[in-house]
């Protein structure tokens, strides 16, 4: 049994750890503990609960209203790792500056970033959004259609990214990707980027934006980008979505082509 004296000796260290990592404790509470309680209580997934809120509070056909409803839910009710409004401004700007006609999104999740990208696309553009989780894809489909985007603008593909990328040309007629947004499993960032490099779908000037490269982080992906010589790149520093105090960032890559 630990004596009171020893316990008191460790108290300053414990308090220091709690203060230093307080935002991570908040993230664990909001992303894990709250989710477990609501999962048991409602029998619905976190994404389905978020959609119920959006359906009740957003205006059909109004992408901005839908994003606002999501942002309220994720910041005030339950944490969902959408790109969020602050990093979303960077995504909006990059899409508008590049005016991409063919876009690939890896990681639809519940459709937040899909709607965010689709509302900024030029006329005639097409967005292929890939989600491997069928249950999340059902929610995303509803969100995308509620926002007013049809199959001609956004095509949702329910399959793992490593199965979709090699078939984009054959099954979907994609000849070039102007913009790629990565926000799926971080361990997939590097193999999927290398698969895109080998597919011939990236052309000079193609832009790739990868979220969460600082937290949870994608070090192997960043290392490849720096060493390959295939890209101009920069990392946009930001806080983690809906949680202040946790540093994160997005990597913006511009493909230079094979030398």
Q: Which residues are catalytic?
A: 183, 186, 211-212, 241
Measured at the CA of 95, the angle between CA 128 and CA 187, to 5 degrees, comes to: 60
Cβ atoms of 146 and 60 within 8 Å: the answer is yes
Cβ atoms of 155 and 126 within 8 Å: the answer is yes
Q: 10 Å Cβ neighbour count for 59?
A: 13
């Amino acid at each position: 049994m630990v004596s009171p004296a020893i316990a008191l000796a460790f108290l300053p260290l414990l308090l220091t750890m709690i203060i230093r990592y307080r935002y991570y404790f908040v993230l664990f509470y909001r992303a894990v503990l709250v989710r477990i309680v609501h999962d048991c209580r409602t029998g619905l997934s976190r994404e389905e609960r978020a959609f119920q809120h959006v359906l009740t509070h957003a205006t059909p056909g109004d992408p901005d209203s839908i994003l606002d409803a999501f942002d309220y839910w994720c910041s005030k009710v339950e944490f969902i790792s959408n790109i969020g409004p602050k990093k979303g401004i960077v995504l909006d700007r990059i899409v508008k500056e590049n005016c991409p006609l063919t876009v690939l999104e890896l990681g639809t999740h519940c459709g937040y970033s899909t709607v965010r990208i689709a509302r900024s696309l030029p006329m005639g553009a097409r967005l292929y959004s890939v989600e491997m989780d069928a249950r999340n894809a059902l929610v995303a489909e509803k969100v995308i259609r509620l926002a007013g985007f049809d199959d001609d603008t956004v095509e949702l593909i329910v399959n793992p990214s490593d199965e979709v990328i090699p078939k984009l040309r054959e099954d979907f007629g994609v000849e070039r990707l102007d913009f790629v947004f990565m926000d799926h499993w971080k361990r997939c960032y590097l193999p999927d980027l290398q698969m895109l490099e080998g597919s011939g779908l990236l052309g000079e000037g193609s832009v790739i934006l990868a979220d969460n490269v600082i937290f949870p982080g994608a070090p192997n992906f960043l290392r490849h980008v720096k060493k390959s010589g295939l890209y101009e790149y920069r990392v946009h520093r930001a806080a983690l979505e809906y949680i202040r105090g946790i540093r994160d960032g997005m990597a913006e890559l511009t493909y230079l082509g094979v030398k």
